[in-house]
Copies of this chain bind each other. A is one copy, B any other.
Amino acid sequence: MSNPLIMKLEHAAVLNDEDRATLQRLCSNPQYLEKRATLIQSGDRPENVHLIMSGFACRVKYMPNGRRQILAFLVPGDFCDLNVAILGAMDHAIVMLSTGTVVNISQAAVEELRTHVRIMPALWWATLVDEAILREWLVNLGQRPADQRLAHLFCELYMRLALVGLVKDNAFTMPMSQEEIGETLGLSTVHVNRTLQSLRVQALITWKNHVLVIDNLPRLKAFAGFQGNYLHLEPRTA
C-alpha cells in the first residue's frame, strides 16, 4: 500500500497515524476511467471533489477555434477541484490523459477533513503549490525556447512523480501523446516531434513506449534552467 495523497501531504506537514488513517479512509472506492474521459466540464458546480489515485489527468480550456490549452497535469495525489465550492463554478474542464482511477469525495467529507488541524494547512499548501506551478508554466511559455520548454516540463514531472513514488530507475510513465504535449506548451505537434528528437540526440532523454528515461537529471536541469524551489518541497523551518 502506498497512498499518493498521503505521500504528498507528508511533505507539507507532519502527520500522525490518525491523520493518515483519515486520509486513507477517504480513498476507498476509486472509480476506473478511460483515457479522454471528461471528469468535469467547464461551468459545472460539482457536488463531489475528485482526487487522482492512478493515471494522469489535465486541466484544459477549449478555444472557439477548436484548439485547446492544457493548464496543468494532475498526477496521483492531486485534487482536481478541491476549492470549487468557494468559486462557484469551474472555469475549465478536467480530462483524463490516460486510463486511471479517481475517488469522489463529498463536499461534506471535505469540510470534515478541514477540521483536522494538521491536514487543513496541508490541503492549502497543495493548492498554493498548484498555483506556484502555474506561475512557472507561464515562465516556461513566455521565456523559454521549445527545447528548454520540453526539458523543463520533464524535470518538473520527474520531481512531482518522485514525490509520490512513481519514478523508478530514473524513469517514469508519460502517457500523453506528442499532440497533448504541444497543447501543454503552446507548440505545434510537428515542432514537439522535432524538438523531442533533438533532446534524444543530445542524450538528454529517452522516450519509448510512453516511458521517459532521464539518465542524467542534473544535466537536463542545467539545460532547462530548472530551479525546483517553486515546488516548495524543502522542509520548512518554523
Contact = CB atoms under 8 A, between A and B. Distances in A.
Contacts of A69: 138-139, 142-143
A223 interface: no
Nearest to A131: B131
A63 interface: yes
> Chain A contact residues: over half helix, strand or loop, or mixed?
helix
A225 B64 contact: yes
Nearest to A230: B91
26 contacts: A43-B229, A61-B136, A63-B225, A64-B225, A67-B143, A69-B142, A69-B143, A71-B135, A71-B139, A86-B124, A87-B125, A87-B129, A88-B232, A88-B234, A89-B232, A91-B135, A91-B136, A91-B230, A91-B232, A127-B128, A127-B131, A130-B131, A137-B138, A138-B141, A141-B142, A142-B185
